Amino acid sequence: MTRTPITDRPESELLARRGAESIAGGVVSLNRRTDPPISFVRARGSRLWDADGNEYVDYHAAFAPHILGHNDPEVNAAVRAAAEEGPSLMGAGTTPWEIELSERLRACVPSLERVQIANTGSEATAHAVRLSRAFTGREDVVLTLGGYNGWHNDVARQVMPGLDTVGPRASPGEYPFLPASAGIPKSAQRLVHVVNFNDSASVEWVLERHPVACVMTEPVLQNVGVIPPRPGYLRALREICDRHGALLVFDEVKTGFRSALGGYQSRCGVTPDLSVFGKAVANGYPLGVIGGRADVMARFDDPDPGRRVLIAGTYNAHPVPTAAAIATIDRLGRDDGAVYRELEAKGARLQKGLETIFSERGLTVVVSRLGSAFCAYFMDHQPVDWHDVASHHDFDLDRRYRRALVERGIFHFPLACKQGSISAAHSDADLALTLDLTREALKSL
């Protein structure tokens, strides 16, 4: 693979300077900013190319949607057909393709008695919160520390706060809502209760004290690496929500369609009241899903306008992303889910290879993995929550590790603890190359 030094990428720098003249902050969606700046101009399968002609094996996957790889030929063929031969966005009545997608979603995830379709994960979580409030007549919401559920007022707290700001582990108890954005009203912040992941006692503690509409959590924390639920934790949430009359909402934007066709809920055996999906469901095209209990979802069409919940969007179920989602789901379900077996095997191979390389170097590292999602924690045990990561993970080493990998052509997002994602397009040769380059990268640290 051709390489230029990471600090000498003139085309990327030129684009960064040009972007800064027109785009507020220089980059669209500011969490994409990297230091030093890298602009990618081409992607195919498991590979990316930057503006200076450097090639990378990609494990960022654009924050995880590309489960089949970039520009998957089958998904793109469906997209082309939708764009060129299919009907345009009509904006009136239902369409055969939104029905087809909804039927597939329900067939994959049994808890989706009814669904609605939006454009992004954030839209889906916003709908889930509002729907929960309308259904329960309550306003408070419980979220997990270290989780991310989108950018809107009800959920936009800091994902990786310093322990100096968030304070020591509070159990049972809650943390202050540390907004990730200016402009979130105090009144909105007061309704949100942030608790530890893997800490059902804190959820119970909050539900005993506040009128909670919903407990929303990623079933596996995948915005601070990969932190699995402890045995019994999700079941305990189900039981606590039932006892206190709150809805349980699984944010499966990251786990859904990546960990299994039926979402993580099909692996853990816990059925939420509502679920939201995004990312892998459409292999890189913009689509968000909210679905769940028919009686709750019926509020979107309640005959009483005072009880009805608004869901609207000019582009919801646009034919292009809808076609992408249908093609993605069909591919993921083919041969009885063969893709997931392949991804599991690739994930296991990569994990074992990384563990061997880290131990050769005498480094204490835990490679946490759920199927195709993985993260190397520079600490001596599998973390259980954000406090565990924040107090034990070697962030500086992680940053240097990621940079050394990027320099050699392995693209992990250069931010500590960001999850890596393997796609169906990653070949055995890609994995072998990744391990060789990782060995080299570690020698340089």
Residues in the site for ligand PLP, rule: CB under 6 A? 63, 120-122, 125, 148-150, 218, 223, 251, 253-254, 278
Shortest CB 277 distance to ligand PLP, Å = 9
Contact yes or no for 408/167 (Cβ under 8 A): no
Cα 419 from Cα 226, distance rounded (Å): 6
Which residue, 121 or 321, has its beta carbon nearer to ligand PLP? 121
Please state the closest distance from residue 256 (CB atom) to ligand PLP, in A.
9
Residue 225 CB, nearest approach to ligand PLP (Å): 12
Considering beta carbons, is residue 121 or 229 the nearer one to ligand PLP? Answer: 121
| Residue closer to ligand PLP (CB basis): 116 or 438 | 116
Residue number, 287 or 357, with CB nearest to ligand PLP:
287
Query: By C-beta, is 56 or 148 nearer to ligand PLP?
Result: 148
User: Rounded to the nearest 10 degrees, what angle do helices 319-360 and 428-444 cross at?
Assistant: 50
Cβ proximity to ligand PLP: between 183 and 362 the closer is 183
Instruction: Give the span between the Cα atoms of 244 and 226, in whole angstroms.
Output: 29
Minimum separation from the CB atom of position 138 to ligand PLP (A): 22
Taking the complex as a whole, how short is the minimal distance between the CB of residue 285 and ligand PLP, in angstroms? Answer: 11
Dihedral sign, CA of 219, 225, 230, 231? Answer: positive
How near is the Cβ of 200 to ligand PLP at its closest, in Å?
Answer: 20
Both ends of the chain: CA-CA distance in Å? 21
DSSP of 188-201: HHTTEEEE-TT-HH
Cα–Cα separations (whole angstroms), residue 330 to 135, 258, 281, 338, 372: 33, 14, 10, 12, 19
Instruction: List, as own/partner pairs, every contact residues 2-6 make where C-beta atoms lie below 8 angstroms and the sequence separation is at least 24, other chains included.
Output: 2/53, 2/54, 2/55, 3/54, 3/407, 3/408, 3/409, 4/52, 4/53, 4/54, 5/407, 6/36, 6/403, 6/406, 6/407
In degrees to the nearest 10, what's the CA dihedral of 277, 280, 286, 287? Answer: -30
> Which pair of structure tokens corresponds to residue 3?
């390489």
Say if residues 138 and 246 touch (Cβ distance below 8 Å): yes
C-beta of 236 vs 249, nearer to ligand PLP: 249
Closest to ligand PLP by CB, 268 vs 404, is 268
The three-point CA angle 402-406-410 to 5° equals 100
Quote the least distance from Cβ 8 to ligand PLP, whole Å. Answer: 31
**Contact yes or no for 58/46 (Cβ under 8 A):** yes
Q: Which CB, 121 or 420, lies closer to ligand PLP?
A: 121
β-pair type (366-370, 373-377): antiparallel
Could you tell me the smallest distance in angstroms from the CB atom of residue 104 to ligand PLP? 20
Cβ nearer to ligand PLP, comparing 329 with 365: 329
Taking the complex as a whole, how short is the minimal distance between the CB of residue 15 and ligand PLP, in angstroms?
Answer: 23
DSSP line for 308-368: ------TTTT-HHHHHHHHHHHHHHHHHHHHHHHHHHHHHHHHHHHHHHHHHHTT---EEE
Q: Shortest gap between Cβ of 46 and ligand PLP (angstroms)?
A: 21
CA 128, 130, 134 angle in degrees (round to 5)? 115
